[in-house]
Structure 1
Amino acid sequence: MSVDLGARPWDQLFARHVAGDTGDQITAILNQSGATDAITLSGGFPHPETFPTQAIAESFPRVLEQSVALQYSPTAGLPGLRDWFAGWLGAQEGVRPAENELCITSGGMEGIGLISRCVLDPGDRVVVEGPTFFGALVGFQRTMTQVEAVPVDDDGLDVSALERLLATSSGPVPKIVYVIPDFQNPSGLSMSVERRHALVALARRHGILIVEDVAYRELGFDGERRPSLWALGPDVVAQVGTFAKTFAPGIRMGWVAAPAELVGQLLRAKQNTDQCTGALGQLLLEDYGRSGRFDQGIAFSRKFYRERRDIMVDALRTHLPEDMTFTRPLGGFFSWITAPAHLDTVALQKQALDEKVTYVPGAAFYPDGRGQNQLRLAYSRVPDEKITEGVRKLASVLTRAGGA
């Protein structure tokens, strides 16, 4: 039921940043996730088989004995969880954050939002990868910043193109460069070691904060672990992570590891948003982590998703028209398709849905209208036997649209 506000229309009441952002794409994906009559290649959801259901059930009695379990927690996170996770990061990355350089968040998206809130003013410049995660784009758009995209290739963000942008631009130096260096959403590509070093050096020269999103970092398939940007430049990098892929997305938790000055501001901002991340989830994660099963779960997830990646890549090789390309990710959840320039993947969504298959159009991953002939596919949650069928149906739609 629509309610009349009176003399002022609703669209005049809403803030200016609401108009034109891409938040509807997230809503659409979440809505599609519950569809039972379509093969949903759109949503990058973790698979329930990777959730540590039994471990959490065993942890509950131990956790509930602690008085803090159902109480407010410190804004930075419970000391026990932060101590365990700081040690885990130190073992993985070779750098352990100090106590005032780490905060626990209510998911990775909150980390991005808090950084945006603390760093960006309307009119500031932000550089992202083109394409990039549309959830981050929404966050930056809602701060009314100027968002510019630098292209990616097989070696990740083109740092030379970023350097040229900085050299030729007459505007203020960007405050933030947002990157997903490992198994990127949406392309599945990763940044080379050489470019990681170059990006950190560039950020130091220009005084730019790198926001490193490591949502998929632990889900590599080939055993290679490239140095994180945060480990290379903890003075100029804020690492934003999520436990959605390594623990459970329903327990909303993530982290930010960053210079103490920035973390202090993030905590002030968090006190005026959700105040603190839920203590119950923090205690469950700490118990899981200290049991040793956190690393075991990651190892299982890597194998699980690698098998699904292989099924999708084989299906794309078999069914995709020859004049289209796709990425073969070395980790993560996604493959990225590029079709001939005349094909409009936004317009083809309805035809695909008529065939009972969904995807995300490429334009959602750019701040400037590019990507009309591209699309993202996710293999993470679709049943094995449905991945090939979904790709075959989608290829049929693309072929009929003139892709072959």
Structure 2
Amino acid sequence: MTDLDLRLARRAAGSGDELSAILSLVNAPGLITFSGGFPAHEIFPVEFVRELAADRLDAGAPVALQYTPTEGLASFRDALATWIKASQGLAPDALMVTSGGIEALQLICRTLLDPGDRVLVESPTYVGALTAFSGFEAHVEAVAADADGLVPEALAAALATGPTPKLLYVIPDFQNPTGAWLSTERRHALVALARRHGLLVVEDVAYRELGFTGEQRPSLWSLAPDVVVQVGTFSKILFPGVRLGWAAGPPALIPHLVRAKQNSDQCAGGLGQWLAESFLRDGRLDAHVARARATYAARWAAMSAGLTKHLGTAFHWSQPGGGFFTWVTGPPGLDTAALLPRARELGVAYVPGTPFHAGRDARHTLRLSFSATTPDEIAEGTRRLGLLLTGATP
């Protein structure tokens, strides 16, 4: 039999399976999962989708069930642009629809990256982005971040050496995996550095609408639409069952992303765009997001209480103001990856920290997601996690 491993392209041979491992735990029986960043299914707008299907689908079928333009349905892009302006204070000059946020990242990589190009990321950062960048053979470099997000001085130091990076990837709002919220002062400093150095910033706003208090800080794209391309998704704020996202950015860039999409899936699904447009035009998104914020705030409160009760003083965790995640740091010598089999025996799941870093070992860290588990499940899950981690503490 031919050994296909010998024929794999470098980008395929080097790709990880962390995302597949996380997704495989969806609805796993007997398991309390703190692993994936899954939205709470209890708040999915089931009744609204049922009403649409019953009352409007016959008339909407030629749009909802048909192929769409590669850049997205014009009516949906108009509704989306209106919502973006209401949320961020600026209407995009160039906007396209994507099949989720991860596809937008893939299109950016396909359009901009050559092997060996420098890409800067926060440390730690979203594992899916690291996989995308490494899949296109970029040279990924970590920039220091803390509880207030990316450190501008560290970014300035990275920009002062070597060739100009092709792009900087950043999640300013309730970051994955740490929950950090980039301060307003740092947002201004970051875009000023980008303009000074001709750096393209990729801003991922997956969790922007999900602050527990509803407070928002200016998006990087609204501060500097000339040097920022914004990647968004409806997976976290509506539901992920239809893969739907967007990219808004410089008018010189978006048409190239549209062309790249022609060689990808050709177009995002019409049904998802039709559903989302109906949701937006009926004015239902604000109320839905408010419910989501309250749900996730209550679940974070349960997670915080559980970690405080069941983890000792050797452990520390981030204090997110929104989103889905907290980042746990244990004592040196702890190996969270090695503990995964024992975690499965105890019926609890998490994601070890090392895959979220570009070229750095972080075995004593882990990411916990509180979004898809109820407060009662969180109470029991943190008890099991405490048994696991405190029992393994060196």
TM tier relative to shorter chain: over 0.9
Residue 69 in 1 paired to residue 64 in 2?
yes
**Which residue number in structure 2 is paired with residue 50 of structure 1?**
43
- In 2, Cα distance between the equivalents of 1:381 and 1:152? 26
**Which residue number in structure 1 is paired with residue 209 of structure 2?**
218
**Which residue number in structure 2 is paired with residue 398 of structure 1?**
389
Q: For each residue in 1:310-337, what CA deviation from the matched residue of structure 2 results, as whole angstroms up to 9, or x when unmatched?
A: 0000111111110110011100001100
- In 2, Cα distance between the equivalents of 1:261 and 1:50? 38
**Which residue number in structure 1 is paired with residue 312 of structure 2?**
321
Offset of 1:65 from its aligned partner?
Answer: 1.0
- In 2, Cα distance between the equivalents of 1:220 and 1:226? 10
Q: For each residue in 1:271-300, what CA deviation from the matched residue of structure 2 results, as whole angstroms up to 9, or x when unmatched?
A: 111111111211111111111111110011
**Which residue number in structure 2 is paired with residue 380 of structure 1?**
371
Offset of 1:351 from its aligned partner?
Answer: 1.6
Kindly provide the amino acid, as one letter, of the partner of residue 25 in structure 1: E
Residue 294 in 1 paired to residue 282 in 2?
no
Q: 1:187 aligns with which of 178, 184, 189?
A: 178
State whether residues 56 and 288 of structure 1, in contact with CA within 8 Å, keep that contact through their aligned partners in structure 2: no
Offset of 1:305 from its aligned partner?
Answer: 0.7
Q: 1:141 aligns with which of 134, 137, 145?
A: 134
Kindly provide the amino acid, as one letter, of the partner of residue 307 in structure 1: A
Kindly provide the amino acid, as one letter, of the partner of residue 188 in structure 1: G
Residue 86 in 1 paired to residue 77 in 2?
no
- In 1, Cα distance between the equivalents of 2:111 and 2:339? 39
Tell me the TM-score normalised to structure 2 length: 0.97
Q: For each residue in 1:114-169, what CA deviation from the matched residue of structure 2 results, as whole angstroms up to 9, or x when unmatched?
A: 011101110100000111000011000000000011121111011111111222x2
Offset of 1:21 from its aligned partner?
Answer: 2.6
Offset of 1:382 from its aligned partner?
Answer: 1.4
2:56 partner SS: helix
Q: Which moved more, 1:226-235 or 1:50-59?
A: 50-59
Residue 21 in 1 paired to residue 21 in 2?
no
Offset of 1:44 from its aligned partner?
Answer: 1.1
**Which residue number in structure 2 is paired with residue 247 of structure 1?**
238
Q: For each residue in 1:197-252, what CA deviation from the matched residue of structure 2 results, as whole angstroms up to 9, or x when unmatched?
A: 01101011111110000001100012321000000010000000000112210011
Kindly provide the amino acid, as one letter, of the partner of residue 78 in structure 1: L
Offset of 1:193 from its aligned partner?
Answer: 0.5
Kindly provide the amino acid, as one letter, of the partner of residue 95 in structure 1: L
Kindly provide the amino acid, as one letter, of the partner of residue 9 in structure 2: A
**Which residue number in structure 2 is paired with residue 97 of structure 1?**
92
2:368 partner SS: strand
State whether residues 45 and 381 of structure 1, in contact with CA within 8 Å, keep that contact through their aligned partners in structure 2: yes
Q: Identify unmatched segments of 5+ residues in structure 1.
A: none
- In 1, Cα distance between the equivalents of 2:206 and 2:280? 18
Residue 165 in 1 paired to residue 165 in 2?
no
- In 1, Cα distance between the equivalents of 2:4 and 2:109? 26
Kindly provide the amino acid, as one letter, of the partner of residue 384 in structure 1: P
Offset of 1:64 from its aligned partner?
Answer: 3.5
Percent identity over paired residues: 51
> CA RMSD of the aligned region, Å?
1.1
Residue 32 in 1 paired to residue 25 in 2?
yes
State whether residues 210 and 238 of structure 1, in contact with CA within 8 Å, keep that contact through their aligned partners in structure 2: yes
Kindly provide the amino acid, as one letter, of the partner of residue 202 in structure 2: V
Residue 365 in 1 paired to residue 356 in 2?
yes
- In 2, Cα distance between the equivalents of 1:384 and 1:400? 24
Residue 389 in 1 paired to residue 383 in 2?
no
Q: Which moved more, 1:278-287 or 1:250-259?
A: 278-287
1:260 partner SS: coil
- In 1, Cα distance between the equivalents of 2:58 and 2:205? 31
- In 2, Cα distance between the equivalents of 1:355 and 1:75? 47
Q: How many residues align?
A: 392
State whether residues 59 and 288 of structure 1, in contact with CA within 8 Å, keep that contact through their aligned partners in structure 2: no
- In 1, Cα distance between the equivalents of 2:314 and 2:156? 32
Residues 1:64 and 1:209: Cα distance change in structure 2 (over 3 Å): farther
- In 2, Cα distance between the equivalents of 1:279 and 1:351? 44
Residue 353 in 1 paired to residue 341 in 2?
no
Offset of 1:370 from its aligned partner?
Answer: 2.4
Offset of 1:389 from its aligned partner?
Answer: 1.2
- In 2, Cα distance between the equivalents of 1:108 and 1:68? 22
- In 2, Cα distance between the equivalents of 1:183 and 1:245? 12
- In 2, Cα distance between the equivalents of 1:370 and 1:212? 25
- In 1, Cα distance between the equivalents of 2:336 and 2:4? 31
2:393 partner SS: helix
